Structure 1
């Protein structure tokens, strides 16, 4: 794979794209606006559709200070190497934080279009992707000093200093520390105590490889883990395909930090399968609704026919009824 970083743009060249055997691949880290990022792609698509999925992801979030946040307006473009006008471009804006490390597009382009002969997206086995970040707001320290980023930097950027970050986030953090309870060496909120204890009860070795000593970071990662589990506990109607991709990204970061989350990856696969079945069954659900509507119409027709039948019976009985003595006399 190759890459090129210029100003507020980064170009990722993926070689031998057609023969890649990986479910997901990562670009080299790059720096834009003093912040480190990387790209994440699903070259074979995902279980929900046969499309190229592509995301912009914060790189090495463990090194960022507690309370960090980034707001970015960005675009991801699959370059058409024959005709630039046919390039597939998606634009997005997003707040990145410890709970939301990545953002992008689940269905940038159908894989059939990408691999089509002479389509221009796959040339000499290579795919080119360009990310461009135009507006960036950073709360907390930059990954790289601004001096090293001055050259070729047209990026419109707002940087809030540490005091600003403290005024917004750290007061909340301080209040949370006072209310925290220690569970297996992690400071957690009272509302999370039962959940965290349950995690360690079922998976006692989950944090054996997690070597971070800073209590703020330990709490952040544990909160992150709990949020991932809570996300998987949502109903299928609430869970979007993007949510499941973000969980996938989150699990990668937890693994990189030293957590043993293979059991969560299996649960994620199960949820993906259920989501796939739900989506494939939507047509059946719609058909059920149509059948129910038709059945209701038939029931109304039956009731109308029964009412007409009773009226006709009454007329027949009235016509057949003999005169009474009083009718004859009078």
Structure 2
């Protein structure tokens, strides 16, 4: 049983605990103009004792020679008790006739997966979500997606280039149908962005547009996900776009804002860590001082008791002097 929303497919495997088969397959689904399916190995595959999950391009044997799909995808093993405890694994690679199936052989230890209170298996059901971003397609898109694009977006021209890739034309740029709406929105907001684009060859123009989209995608990541290396690469991409004639001053300003926020976050986290260490030291000293004060308090109490005893002895020693009668 599966549920497809945008570029996410959620697969619910019923009676997972009692499955006797070595491999189970999901229903086929279409994301990014490509047909896919998920494979799960309940008893493990290459690594015995671990759950193995794979993503496969379907009907790979019937595809034309030389077909390829470049995709970024992630598996999320859904924790049904707490979303924060879900496990996510991601990668980016090419699917082709030599390797139509890719995945991870060590998603989770089967012993942990089957633990009652872990939250992955609830009512014997296991939920897996795959998120796919198709970055590049060589060879035809799947027919179901071609017709779907043609009916849902009639205002866009669908072209096929020499490699058999179906693309949408937006403002003189050929892009994947899945990218067309984003590119259209960019040009609506910045219509003069590519007026001075130096690339006349359609292949080079597509490279420029893909670089722009990847840059925007990078900037839209959370600060937690965004690394310093990502920002460095974003600077390089921005320079490439400017050298290609793109007017991207608006994007440069946004990138600077993202870099400043990332720097503030890095500085803030470092400062917080320093303060936490400092606070830890103060608390330890405070605890030591408390123990010392308690010891001194006890010593004061003991000394006061001894002082009272000595006072009593001294008082007794100060009795009236003996008289003659006392002596005789």
Q: Normalised by the size of structure 1, how large is the TM-score?
A: 0.45
Q: Normalised by the size of structure 2, how large is the TM-score?
A: 0.46
